[in-house]
Structure 1
Amino acid sequence: MEYVLDNPIYHALTSGHKHLAKGVETVKYYTEDVTAFAGLKNNSQENLNTLYQISPPESLFVFFAKTPVEIPEQWKLLTHIDMYQFIFRGVKVPDTDGAELTDLDQEHVAEMIDLVELTKPGPFLSKTIELSNYTGIFVDGKLASMAGHRFFPSPYREVSAVCTHPDHLGKGYSFKILQEQIKRILLRNEIPFLHVRNDNEAAIKLYQKLGFEIRTDMIAYVIKKEAL
Structure 2
Amino acid sequence: MMKLSTLSGILLCGLFSLTTFTSQSQCANEILLVVATTDAGDQTFWSITNDLNELIASGGPYANDSASDIVLCLEDGCYDFNMFSETGWNGGLATIIYADSILGLGFGNQPFDSFSFGVNAFGCGGDLPEGCTDQEACNFDPNAVVNDGSCVYPGCTDPEALNYDASAGCSDGSCQYEEPCSLNTITLTMLDTFGDGWNGATYMITQFGNAISEGTLVEGEFDVVELCLAD
Normalized against structure 2, the TM-score is what?
0.25
Higher strand share: 2
Higher helix share: 1
Normalized against structure 1, the TM-score is what?
0.25
Q: State the structure with more CA Rg.
A: 2
